[in-house]
Structure 1
């Protein structure tokens, strides 16, 4: 499937990215905050009486997945399939795969397309109040091969599919791992947890420091379009380049004492975890708001959050994604 946002270049990327920026603009994301809080509370309601949970499966996956599913206007009953498709597409974009996994990813993409095509067509015939309808009926200024404008038109279904897939990815696993990585850091720094619990105004900068210190994506893949000289080394045109966004967060010339986790770090937001330039993450604002809502809710409703006895945290088997396979925790319900 043509990847309209991750790897496309202008002007193709510019036209499609403008639609996604409009769809996920800060005003629209802020309007979703009430729904995010309701979803977060409902998820916690499901396990708070137990005094324990597995953070990913019972909270970290459900929050962003439900939000993006509701925003696109798809049935919540289909969320398990959405999660599977999203995981496969992320792996296809960011991981080095063997042939068996490549085939699985390809099948998942086909299943996703077959699911979305009739829903896109239905939104064109009878628009509803959801993001999928907005995209299905949006127009772009088309051009011929010489970039001369030839007038506005609707996106084709083939053009919409990669955009919707990127929205699904942007609103899914990375936010799950942001929540998980952040909570593990709080557990490992109890003095920080106490400080953030007492003052929720620290949460936005806490999230930026999590993104800098242990962000959910450490690298992406690019292709050099021409020979490039970098610090005395030549990168040949056509070769693969792997920007290590996570390493940028450890640059001591930008972040003094980079291995110190500091929620008061004044320049924490200078991290590159969301990327840089035209391909800056389309879901960054969504992730920030979801992360803030998640930690405001968790720290309000759960006291004495700790790892479950005997818990051994194992990292995801991924080259580029950074997160834990499972985070079993115990807690005391707040009174």
Structure 2
């Protein structure tokens, strides 16, 4: 009998790979009572499910954490269905319309134009902290440049950056991390305050447009988008810039320092980014709903059932990645992971995320070639249903 997932345990995020390997070999479609979902673990099945919107629906898959108490749901009210119209939470044709609108801001030229700005943001942080010789990488080095770049892109004033960062953290904890009942209510109040802030930002840009993403999306209200869709798009992109991308950078630096690969050779930085996303992905998977009964590997997933597409397991599938538990900076197919999604739900900001990770590793390697882990520190990942990130990582340099 294979054990179940347990998102309250340390191993679920830190070291799930023996468990996931057992599932791939013995129960590739696994019903988890703990998650209340059927889990797909093989690379080919996860990829096929991502590409099969007619059987695996995204509609409502991000809508609400199933761990919320009724009191928390009551407190959230209509916003308990927040993300109901976000691009990753809908099926075609709504998905097609939303993605087309958002993609206007992520053209290759627009993304490339952000590289120098992001490099300067990393340089600015290092100018301040380099003389100290040590730092907590997560808040002190990893999060600040991404937070600031995302704020400038969206149009968040610099004076509001800390407000957004703290409330995005609360949002993640509320919806994607198990919390006790009293704490849920506190986080729900923070989340509602955050939504009100984004709503005011959208209204301000509607009245006085500027050169930012919010103004671009606000200009489409009525013709292509609704007000709520714009609020949800902005809110979720802020989540990516304040949480997901910095988490991936922290995971990557921790991996590279453990492997004694620092600084990263310039000609291997891009592949290092892909291998880090494969072996230590900041995203563990995506949820879907079965539209019809689905027969797969002798298991019938009933219509309406929740499914987890485990990209974390898929990225360690030995039928695709040779010796998957070994980090190989020159792995030829490292980019075959699905940490950024796949198919129509491939992350619309993937090019920007990759640019940020590559640029950060380049600048850090140039400025801190002697970067190393501080000895004797405990390493513990944040507990989460679908995300991997370090709350702290102490580093030193000469």
- Fold match, TM over 0.5? yes
In the alignment, structure 1 residue 208 sits paired with structure 2 residue 278: no
Measure the CA separation in 2 of the matches of 1:247 and 1:26. 31
Aligned positions of 1:230-249 closer than 5 A: 230-249=296-315
**Structure 1 length normalisation: TM-score?**
0.89
The equivalent position to 1:303 in structure 2, one of 340, 345, 369, is 369
Determine if contact 1:137/1:154 at 8 Å carries over to the other structure.
no
Aligned to 2:185: 103
Aligned to 2:210: 128
Q: Give the aligned CA root-mean-square deviation in angstroms.
A: 1.8
Aligned positions of 1:1-335 closer than 5 A: 1-3=82-84, 4-138=86-220, 153=223, 155-190=225-260, 192-194=261-263, 196=264, 199-332=265-398
SS of residue paired to 1:67: helix
Determine if contact 1:315/1:325 at 8 Å carries over to the other structure.
yes
SS of residue paired to 1:6: helix
SS of residue paired to 1:74: coil
Measure the CA separation in 2 of the matches of 1:2 and 1:229. 29
Determine if contact 1:204/1:292 at 8 Å carries over to the other structure.
yes
Shift of the 237–252 alpha-carbon distance from structure 1 to 2, 3 Å rule, reads same
Measure the CA separation in 1 of the matches of 2:199 and 2:390. 33
Larger relative CO (CA 8 A, sep 6+): 1 or 2? 2
Q: Tell me how far 1:96 sits from its aligned partner.
A: 4.4
Q: Tell me how far 1:330 sits from its aligned partner.
A: 0.3
Residues 136-165 of structure 1: CA deviation (Å, up to 9, x unaligned): 1026xxxxxxxxxxxx71533222111111
SS of residue paired to 2:397: strand
Q: Tell me how far 1:119 sits from its aligned partner.
A: 2.1
Segments of structure 1 that go 5 or more residues without pairing to the other structure are 140-151
Determine if contact 1:213/1:259 at 8 Å carries over to the other structure.
yes
Residues 176-225 of structure 1: CA deviation (Å, up to 9, x unaligned): 111111111111111x325x2xx312101000000011111112222212
Determine if contact 2:269/2:362 at 8 Å carries over to the other structure.
yes
Determine if contact 2:262/2:371 at 8 Å carries over to the other structure.
no
Residues 94-140 of structure 1: CA deviation (Å, up to 9, x unaligned): 3445444443443233212211222212212221111111111026x
Measure the CA separation in 1 of the matches of 2:259 and 2:174. 34
Measure the CA separation in 1 of the matches of 2:173 and 2:307. 17
Segments of structure 2 that go 5 or more residues without pairing to the other structure are 1-81
Aligned residue-pair number:
316
Aligned to 2:15: none
Determine if contact 1:171/1:286 at 8 Å carries over to the other structure.
no
Shift of the 7–63 alpha-carbon distance from structure 1 to 2, 3 Å rule, reads same
Measure the CA separation in 2 of the matches of 1:93 and 1:159. 19
**Structure 2 length normalisation: TM-score?**
0.75
Greater shift after overlay, 54-63 or 23-32? 23-32
Greater shift after overlay, 123-132 or 88-97? 88-97
SS of residue paired to 1:153: coil
Measure the CA separation in 1 of the matches of 2:149 and 2:250. 17
Shift of the 2–303 alpha-carbon distance from structure 1 to 2, 3 Å rule, reads closer
